[in-house]
Amino acid sequence: MIVRELELDLDAFEGPFDLLLTLVLKDELDLRELDVAGIVLAFLERLLQRDELDLEACGEFLVLISALLELKARGLFPEEAAELAELEPEAAAEELARRLAEYRRMKDAAGWLRERLEAEGDRFFRVGPAPLAPRVETPLAPQEPEKLAQVIRMLAVEPPQVSLAHMALRFPPVTQFVERFRAVLRRRSRFDFDQEVGSLPRIEQAVAFLALLDLRRSGEIMIEQAAAFAPIRISRNDVEREDSWTVRSA
């Protein structure tokens, strides 16, 4: 084995690793003087000399080196000196053997699991109800074929045509208000816009205002407003403008 045959050259010990273990178990070597890091480095150098990684040797070495570290740690604390003094060489040997046996059991269990994986790795399972689970039956309410037929007949009837007339916006032609305002100005020289169109819907009032702008662009009328949001007065172009006037809005 690579662990047993490991040659060590330490300050406190020189020889094979199995001899070191024997001296430790017989309590003939002070662990406080033992360089555990040197043992680990020697083991790693031995591994590098091999062509492949020996997992069995690595596992055994980890168990043994951890046991040595635990024993050395106990010896470094004064309060555990009494417990360390009571540890007989036979007890230490039994402890190391117990841990090594536990490691071997874990190793055998891992090997058994590996064999099961290789033998049954191609099997698959699906999640579903247990084959012996009771089947849940959903109770149905009493059925009436006549009502079902009546509902189907209602679905087959074509729905009435929905009227969208209330959603349509009807804009009167601008020329209609252009002619209307021309007729008003032929009867009198001025008129108030709010009084003339105040009773009309807002859409027709907007079209009437566009008609005013069309008449003003052609130079047929004059548009006056004393202040913001004040009544709008319309007059013919041939009428002289008054400096001050008051109009009652509708």
Residue carrying structure tokens 């109800």: 129
Confidence (pLDDT) at 250: 32
- Residue extent(s) of CATH 1.10.10.580 domains in the chain: 170-236
Q: Which fold has domain 170-236?
A: Arc Repressor Mutant, subunit A (1.10.10)
Measured in degrees and rounded to the nearest 5, phi and psi for residue 168 equal -80, 140
Confidence (pLDDT) at 247: 41
Closest CA to 35 of 7, 65, 17, 12: 12
Tens of each residue's pLDDT in the chain, 250 residues: 566 667 777 766 677 777 777 777 776 777 777 777 888 888 888 777 777 777 777 887 788 888 788 777 766 665 544 554 565 666 766 767 777 788 888 888 888 888 888 887 777 666 666 666 667 777 777 878 888 888 888 888 888 888 877 677 777 888 888 998 999 888 888 889 888 888 888 888 888 899 889 998 988 899 988 888 888 898 988 766 554 444 433 3
Contact 60, 96 (CB under 8 A): no
Q: Which residues of 28-39 are buried (b: 16+ CB within 10 A; e: fewer)?
A: ebebeebeeeeb
Residue-level length of the chain: 250
Tokens linked to 150: 């009546």
Measure the CA–CA gap between 249 and 196, rounded to whole angstroms: 10
Confidence (pLDDT) at 245: 44
Strands 232-236 and 221-225, sheet pairing: antiparallel
> Three-class SS of residue 29?
coil
Confidence (pLDDT) at 82: 52
Confidence (pLDDT) at 243: 45
> Three-class SS of residue 55?
helix
Confidence (pLDDT) at 249: 34
